[in-house]
A and B are shown apart, each in its own frame.
Chain A
């Protein structure tokens, strides 16, 4: 938290901290609500859930979630003067399939099934993963290599925006990683099949990440306020 990059400082100069904190609350609230409502709708109106129809549910999740996340995170783009809102949206839309490709590669490398019958599941799962991890960063930072490295390699989130992007996406990655653990067990439950428990892990990790990031944001916000008062 001590070494804040310059780019963030200028954002902070224009936007008061409190706005960013409350904005991050709203943003996270809407993404949580998005996930929850989508799942509720899937269960009660389409009569599908992750276990019985993983592909359809995943499609529904990412189709509903992607406009929410892309549109909202594009609002937080890094340098609004040089980069228009729609450009940020475009970055997010391009980032989605590219991220999905990376996620699918990692998933298959770590052991996702590779049959033709699993292709749809893998594609939709990786789109969802991409949405949780790559897309927000793409919307906000675009192709700025330094910022990507800061978020994903160094894992040293500098400001409020960094925190709300970095922590939930790492949560989703870790959740998916741990979610794969019960898969080989011979309990013969339906939820052990690819990609049910990995998706559940990813969503759970993402939600936990959101809660944690909000906590961090609060701490950072308070600290800044103290700095200001001094």
Chain B
């Protein structure tokens, strides 16, 4: 007698692999998916009373100019702001070509009107190199610019569908404080701020090939608007440069034409602004900015963190000249002499500082989540920041510069207080906050700077009202020291936030990846080990040649896995899977021709592929938003088009007929199953009852049948809930019988009964959630599964010897490919907008996170993951005729070894593809589409893998019952 194979020996690998995967995913995700919690707190004007800084209002009480300075946090320095955003404006588009080594490139020095203004001594204008933070995509950048924060991939709290910003932001503060905002250009702004703009002229931005619509729209409204009085802040977002870059690259004629066009437009804008800038003019105290949201590479890509992508430019001009310039210690400008001997300068600014600086200039509260610093150079450009009201009673005469610095130090004080407040609030609210050590360090820096300032400002206020003393001789150096202290604090906070929110933890990712690879080895070893177990119990299997089928299975998995290294293949993953599945279908046909068996199955499988291919196409087209495709395909029309009455009738009746067919198939498949008749009838009646309920639910929904009013009064949610209840009840019943019922000696039959029971218990819920397409998809599942199992049987019949693997890997591979195809053909895809939120609310109206998440998971993975895994034993069971089920221990052992091997193989295929996805996101972590494409794919794959592991573990506990019983 051979050594018996225990149950735990067979299923323990599943648990080891589950644990390994959990650890690997946890570590990798911690390193890769940067998360940030969005706080929904908003700054308000009155908050300033909590700050330790000088209240501008308080200081102004004696001031004669009190009326025009409705200061809130800081004293307003400008009245109106014109912001022109040129999407993807590289630094070298704006800066003088003399900054760059080598010969002058064709795209340089095209925006000469701005360059002239910046180098003109008489005007207060400056060119900045603005440093953006990755991800450098327009949406994230606009979010960053307006909130003053660092948007990450997962901004927890962000509602998935709508991108509207729920955090405190510049636009919100503007509206809150009575500023009217006028927006024109890129419609992303309207998505981000759906109802904040007083007036807006949005233009669609999604068509990259369209260089002109958005720009022409901007031009049409920009110049006339400059003569209007009905706005305080004007935002014009031009997209031409970004689109020209994406299509033609930087070094191209369209790009140069675009830049030249912008030069003309900007010339006009500057002219209008200057004409109106006289005393009493519309633009007497207007601040004019031209900026890019991010840069681009020479190929026109952006999204990553390379220098070309993050370096964009900012041009700022105040139409009222300040009396002096800011102290040189605050300068970051690098100046050189250009070819004509003129001095040209360019300073550096962080885009992070934009929101804080603009709010400081306008005198409105800083956005709550802003971690930027008020930039001295940008702030000092405006003359409004200079004429700090002279405190009248004082004999003491401060120089302009000194006054400005005092003012600036006060602004920084408010700024630091606000940032400190945010950091504290964030640490308190977020699950994964900052480390305590970092927080303490930052807090120390703040306290030090603040204590200094409190003393100093006390002295200043004394100076203001009384006779000057020595402490009033606040020398520039002391003020400078104070400014530095605040700046250091703000810089260290920004650094801390960057390390937390924009940098990947490579070490963590590496360890996670290592454990993933380790799990792969464990998987392979487990498969080999079960082979050995099998050979112990039946030593006849000597031949170890690797058959063509094994090679083709490995080849298919390898192709699919490697395809994930390219973004194009990820986008068309459904097509790739159906291509590979079709190929296996053709191979099967060939094989059946050779064996002259299962020809019908092979042809049926090809036809099924043909149909699935169409539905996959529809799914993909939905992803691309081409709704025109929908009308072409009859199958999808069943689910969507309800307009034509006949069509509507057909679309309602076909799913129901299919349901009847499904019930018939269920009854037929269990008819010749002799054992446990009571249980069988319970399962059958349960499943058929829920199918009927599904039909009833749809009938109620579509008012197909003129049902009596009595039925209409019944809560519609009641029917789906009953279906869920029946499903749960059947599952519970299976679990109970598993514990209490004595095992029959016929193990294949018992496993078969269990499998069919599980499938019928789960199918009704899945069908319901999938909607009208559900029954058809279920039918496709059954057909596909039946064909694949038949092909497996063919192999057993023809080849009695056992190759390298005890179980045949090709059907398992086909099974997995088929599951992937089903995922795509049911209209899902690997992105968050591919989730069908509607399905989560079938049977429930109110939102409950856990309940709705479970329903959404069942809808998303039901047909592509849950049903296929539950049905996996069919691959093994159906290979055995019923009579063999009563075989001795040896047969029993081999049967369960095969079963475990099938599960292991399925798990291995899933984990190989997932690991390749993980490797891919590691390599492409700075890719343009990392947040748009790779990261969602990663999330879907990882969730799918964990779910696979968990379901395999649970089902193995259920299916592998008491293997050793037969040996005793």
Chain A residues engaging chain B, CB cutoff 8 angstroms: 105-106, 108-111, 114-115, 149, 152-154, 177, 180, 184-186
Q: Which are the 8 A-B pairs with shortest beta-carbon distances?
A: A153-B593, A184-B572, A186-B568, A110-B582, A185-B568, A109-B610, A109-B582, A153-B594
With CB as the reference atom, state the residue of chain B lying closest to A188: B247
> A109 touching B606 by the CB < 8 A rule?
yes
> B617 touching A114 by the CB < 8 A rule?
yes
Q: Would you call B434 an interface residue if the criterion is a C-beta within 8 Å of the partner chain's C-beta atoms? A: no
> B610 touching A111 by the CB < 8 A rule?
no
Q: Would you call B43 an interface residue if the criterion is a C-beta within 8 Å of the partner chain's C-beta atoms? A: no
Known: A153-B594, A184-B571. A109 touches B609 (CB 8 A): yes
Chain A to chain B contacts (Cβ below 8 Å), 15 pairs: A106-B582, A106-B586, A109-B606, A109-B613, A110-B582, A111-B579, A111-B582, A114-B614, A149-B593, A177-B583, A184-B568, A184-B576, A185-B566, A185-B569, A186-B567
B298 → chain A, closest Cβ, in Å?
17
Known: A114-B617, A152-B590, A184-B575. A108 touches B610 (CB 8 A): yes
Known: A153-B594, A184-B576, A185-B568. A111 touches B583 (CB 8 A): no
Residues of A within 8 A of B576 (CB): 184
With CB as the reference atom, state the residue of chain A lying closest to B586: A106
Most chain-B CB neighbours within 10 Å: which of A108, A149, A184?
A184
Taking A111-B579, A186-B571 as given, write out 6 further A-B residue pairs in contact, using a Cβ cutoff of 8 Å, ordered by the A residue number: A106-B586, A110-B582, A153-B590, A184-B576, A185-B568, A186-B568
With CB as the reference atom, state the residue of chain B lying closest to A177: B583
Residues of A within 8 A of B593 (CB): 149, 152-153
Residues of B within 8 A of A149 (CB): 593-594
Known: A105-B610, A154-B594. A184 touches B569 (CB 8 A): yes
Cα of A180 to Cα of B217 in the assembled complex, Å: 42
Residues of B within 8 A of A105 (CB): 606, 610
Q: Would you call B169 an interface residue if the criterion is a C-beta within 8 Å of the partner chain's C-beta atoms? A: no
With CB as the reference atom, state the residue of chain B lying closest to A184: B572
With CB as the reference atom, state the residue of chain B lying closest to A113: B617
B810 → chain A, closest Cβ, in Å?
17
B302 → chain A, closest Cβ, in Å?
16
Cα of A180 to Cα of B572 in the assembled complex, Å: 13
Residues of A within 8 A of B586 (CB): 106
With CB as the reference atom, state the residue of chain A lying closest to B608: A109
Within 8 A of A (CB), among B565-589: 566-569, 571-572, 575-576, 578-579, 582-583, 585-586
Known: A153-B594, A185-B566. A108 touches B571 (CB 8 A): no
Assign chain B's interface to a size class: 20 to 34
With CB as the reference atom, state the residue of chain A lying closest to B614: A114
Cα of A113 to Cα of B168 in the assembled complex, Å: 47
Cα of A86 to Cα of B584 in the assembled complex, Å: 38
Cα of A184 to Cα of B609 in the assembled complex, Å: 19
Residues of A within 8 A of B578 (CB): 110-111
Within 8 A of A (CB), among B555-573: 566-569, 571-572
A118 → chain B, closest Cβ, in Å?
12
Cα of A106 to Cα of B575 in the assembled complex, Å: 14
Known: A106-B586, A109-B610. A180 touches B566 (CB 8 A): no
> B613 touching A180 by the CB < 8 A rule?
no
B934 → chain A, closest Cβ, in Å?
14
With CB as the reference atom, state the residue of chain A lying closest to B591: A153
Cα of A73 to Cα of B675 in the assembled complex, Å: 61
Residues of B within 8 A of A152 (CB): 590, 593
Cα of A109 to Cα of B582 in the assembled complex, Å: 6
Cα of A149 to Cα of B585 in the assembled complex, Å: 17
Cα of A152 to Cα of B594 in the assembled complex, Å: 9
Most chain-A CB neighbours within 10 Å: which of B566, B568, B578, B583?
B568
Among B568, B579, B610, the residue within 8 A (CB) of A180 is B579
Among A110, A114, A153, the residue within 8 A (CB) of B579 is A110
With CB as the reference atom, state the residue of chain B lying closest to A116: B632
A202 → chain B, closest Cβ, in Å?
15
Known: A184-B572, A184-B575, A185-B566. A110 touches B594 (CB 8 A): no
Cα of A115 to Cα of B631 in the assembled complex, Å: 12
Residues of B within 8 A of A106 (CB): 582, 586
> A111 touching B614 by the CB < 8 A rule?
no
Residues of B within 8 A of A109 (CB): 582, 585, 606, 609-610, 613
Cα of A154 to Cα of B548 in the assembled complex, Å: 13
> A111 touching B594 by the CB < 8 A rule?
no
Cα of A106 to Cα of B610 in the assembled complex, Å: 8
Among B566, B569, B613, the residue within 8 A (CB) of A108 is B613
Residues of B within 8 A of A177 (CB): 583
Cα of A106 to Cα of B586 in the assembled complex, Å: 8
Cα of A123 to Cα of B801 in the assembled complex, Å: 45
Cα of A105 to Cα of B609 in the assembled complex, Å: 11
Residues of B within 8 A of A186 (CB): 567-568, 571
Cα of A154 to Cα of B567 in the assembled complex, Å: 38
Within 8 A of A (CB), among B599-621: 606, 609-610, 613-614, 617
Residues of A within 8 A of B609 (CB): 109
